[in-house]
Every structure is written in structure tokens, then in C-alpha cells.
Amino acid sequence: MKIESCSNSAMDKNYSGVKHSRRRITVQIIVDVIIWIAVSLVVIYLFLYGKPYKSGFFCDDRSLSYPSIPETISTPVLIAAAFTLSVILVVSVEILNCLDTKCRRPCQWTRDIVFCVKSYIVFMIGFLIQELVVDAVKNKMGVLRPNFFDVCKPQFNKTLCPSYISEYTCTRNEQDKEIRSSRQSFPSGHSALSMYIAVYFCVYIENRLLIRFSRLLKFFIQTGLVCTAILCGLERIKDNKHHPSDVIAGYVLGVTVAVFVHMLVGTKFAKTTSVGKKTKLNTNNTSCDLCCSCEQSPVLNPQTPTSALEDGYFLNMENGRSTSSTKLIALQNNNRNMSVTSEIV
């Protein structure tokens, strides 16, 4: 009866522990989702309705005298391409891992999907952070774009030239989105987002893509991502939307956010197993390539501790018997040799 009561109490404790753990995880998920939605609302408000600082200009400033031309890559196109590319990269990495010809065992799809979802959540967190920083700095600084004069067509007292002009009025409606955007040059949002995506997935591919059939594929994918991000920033200069300093600041911001998110969030939230290492208990000499993040689980003997002790005990007895029998045979051989020697003598 005492044994049954002890077992029941142990089961109750385990059940309560599992229930408490599930409750804690549920609370964490709810709180994190609420925080993410709250920050997202702030980002959307700053992006759509943020009022940039109304900065002045020098009336003979040639850096603001560029013509206004249609942009090559619009913001909706960039965002759509960013999310499409991110999904394609995640799926492609998993497919390449599974197609590795030296993978010795099947993929664990459930664990792979969970890891990919966690990694994508980390990516979304970084995306939200860089957008928040970009929109906040844009509205706080109010740096004028290179095509500001052509977009705003300001009216001011020209007798004050060539001094700094702080009192002016745009001939177009001040509530126009294009005029509001003409005061949001620094930093370049396109450059920051494209470089963030490039650096984040460079780190992701470096840690996740584990293939042996090519040594250059990973390098060329990472190089292509970085070059695409650089070209995206250069297009903004070509379209007279940003100054070179704005693009460089966007690059730095994207790299910083990607590394920051990976180090502080990614390494804790989306953990992956170590790969390329053989376990000590693996006796089949199969490589642990982590085919789609599969872990090499050691093969243990499914025996109870009592039987293991008994096996060890009997093994020692057998070793002892074999040792004693060996000694006995050696003594018999010595006696025979001695008797043969005495006969010869």
C-alpha cells in the first residue's frame, strides 16, 4: 500500500508539473503576441501618419535640386519581394539539406517545421525592430530628399538667399503624402530592409545549410543576397530618392539589427542542434549530417538498471573464471614441461 501511495503521489507531481509548464508557455506566448501587435501598431502609425520634422534648406542647395522621377522599386514591391524571398530561402535550405547525397537517415519533418517557424518569427521580430528605428529616425530628423525642390516647389522670400531658409510654404498641399515623404530621406528604409534580409539570411544559411555535395553553393547564395541589397540601395540614389549618406546609414542599420536580433533573440529562441559531429555511442560509422536538423540519437541498451548491474556482475564473474582457468592451464603446462625435463635428465 505504501508503494502504491508513493507511486500515485509521484504521478500527481509529474502531472501538476506538466500542467504548470504548459500554462507558463501559454502565458508567455500570449504576452509576446500582445507586445508584437502593440509594436506593430506603432510602426504602422509612424509609417502612415508620422509627421516629420520641418527642416529648412539653403536656397542654392544643389543636392536638393534633382528632378522627381518614378521609383524603380516601390515600398509595397520591396516588402512583397522580401517576404516572398524569405519563404523561398527557408524552404530551399531545407530541401537542399534533404537532398544531400551523404545524408544517412530520414528527415524529422515535425522538428524541422517547428524550427523553421521559430526562425521566421525571429525574422519578423527583426523586421519590426528595423522598421521602428527607420520610421522613428525619419520623422525625428526630417532630412530632405534630393528631389525636394521639384516635389515641394517652395515659396519663400528670395531676398534672403543664399542664407538658410526656415520659413517657406510648399505650393502643393502640405498634407500630400509625397511632400511628407520628401522630408524623410534619412536613413534609407529600402537599404535598411534589404541589407537586414541579406545579413539575417546569410547567418541563417551559414548555420542551417549543411551540405557536402558543394562547397561554393552556400558562398554564392550569401554573396548574391548581399549584392542584391547593395544594388537596391544604389537604385534609390539613382532614382533621386536618397543621398549616398542615407543609403550607407541604411546599410549599417540593417547589418546592426540583423546581428543584434540573431545574437540576443535567435540564439535563444530558435535553437538548432550541433551538426557534423559523431556521437560516441554510434557504432554504425554513419555521419551525423543533420539531414534537415535531425539529431543523432545514441542507441542505448533498453535494460533496467537491475539487469544492467546483474549483467555487469556476471560478466565480472565470467572474466574471473576465465582468468582463473587461464592461470590453471598455464600451471599445468609448466608442470608438464618440468616433468618432461626431469625425464630427459
What CA–CA distance (Å, rounded) separates 105 from 109? Answer: 12
pLDDT in tens, 223-271: 999 999 999 999 999 999 999 999 999 999 999 999 999 888 887 765 5
Residue 325 has a pLDDT of 52
Select from 236, 250, 134, 234 the least CA-distant residue to 199: 250
Q: Do 278 and 259 meet the contact criterion of CB atoms below 8 Å apart?
A: no
Cell 546609414, located at residue = 249
Q: Point out the residues of the chain with pLDDT beneath 50.
A: 103-104, 272-323, 340-345
Cell 544604389, located at residue = 234
Q: Do 316 and 128 meet the contact criterion of CB atoms below 8 Å apart?
A: no
Residue 65 has a pLDDT of 93
Residue 161 has a pLDDT of 86
Q: Measured at the alpha carbon of residue 246, what is the angle toward residues 242 and 251, in degrees to the nearest 5? A: 120
Residue 308 has a pLDDT of 41
Residue 331 has a pLDDT of 56
On the 0-12 / 13-18 / 19+ scale of CB atoms within 10 A, 85 is: middle
Select from 279, 189, 263, 295 the least CA-distant residue to 232: 189
Residue 291 has a pLDDT of 39
Residue 183 has a pLDDT of 94
Q: Do 58 and 162 meet the contact criterion of CB atoms below 8 Å apart?
A: yes
What CA–CA distance (Å, rounded) separates 114 from 272? Answer: 11
Cell of 243: 543621398
**Which residues in the chain belong to E strands, given as ranges?**
57-58, 154-155, 164-165, 169-170
Domain boundaries, the chain: 1-49, 75-143+184-269
